[in-house]
Amino acid sequence: MNSVNSLIEKINAAKTLDFGNIFTDSIELFKKTWLQGFLLQLFTFIVMLPLIIVLYAPLIGVVIAQQEGGYANNDAFESFIAGMSLFYIVFVLAGILVLGTISIALNAGFYKIMRKLDNDEQTSTSDFFYFIKGKYLSKIFVLMLASFGIAVLATLLCYLPIFYVMVPLSLFAIVFAFNPDLTVGEIVKVSFKLGNKKWLLIFGLLIVSGLLAEIVGLLLCGIGLLFTAAFPYHPIYLIYKEVIGFDETTAIEQIGESTE
């Protein structure tokens, strides 16, 4: 298990990475992981579905009321907003936090799956839920609160800092996935250290890979987004791999050692 100091040392000693190589390798890795990327989007949607229902079910009643009173009548919306109870607001916020925690856990599981596929190892659907356990969920919940707090603070500072923090925030899930025993503070520290070291590279790759995923997805009649949306995770994984690396022994390496 890496200590936070060893992770920081690896980041400080990181070699220069080439944008084109990382992007090309991301495409090659995506060829192995596209199906699991689709499953990630599917599972995330299933997790978010209850919250979507809770949010939009009351609005359906408002739309019906508006239709009865005429589209020019805003009384229905005004009555709905005035009638929103504190309990409903708290319930929705709690739902966002809980489901957001599960979403991060799924993302971390996807990184573990990506690692296996990168080494041509077998994976299973259960790997997505590796971190949906009590000992991990509480830490992920605190990590998500930290992420939310940092994002809100950056937004309050005239929005510009959000462009800076979006890079280290994008690293929270992968740093946790391969270092789950670190404290939340240590995960944040390592993420910001790596984000600072490779900020321009990560930012550029996130923008380019995100645009490519959206364009290709839309060209595939929109539904293709379910298959391409996970593409931006790949350059993040490869940068982590090149800068920090992995200490665990893979199944292929174990076989090689046993034959020596």
Res 259: pLDDT = 42
Domain with 174, as residue range(s), is: 4-246
Res 158: pLDDT = 80
Res 250: pLDDT = 45
DSSP state of 127: G
Distance CA(172)–CA(167), nearest Å, equals 9
Query: Per the structure, how many domains does the chain have?
Result: 1
255 domain-assigned: no
Phi-psi region of 25 (alpha: psi -120 to 50; beta: other; left: phi over 0): alpha
Q: Are the CB atoms for 167 and 156 separated by under 8 Å?
A: no
Distance CA(231)–CA(170), nearest Å, equals 13
At 117-157, the pLDDT tens digits run: 999 999 999 999 999 988 899 999 999 999 999 999 998 88
130 domain-assigned: yes
pTM of the complete model: 0.85
Q: How many CB atoms lie within 10 A of CB 119?
A: 13
Phi-psi region of 120 (alpha: psi -120 to 50; beta: other; left: phi over 0): left
* Residue ranges in the chain modelled with pLDDT below 50: 72, 250-260
Torsion 205-208-210-213 (CA) sign: negative
Res 48: pLDDT = 84
126 domain-assigned: yes
258 domain-assigned: no
Res 77: pLDDT = 56
251 domain-assigned: no
78 domain-assigned: yes
133 by Cβ neighbours in 10 Å (0-12 / 13-18 / 19+) ranks as exposed
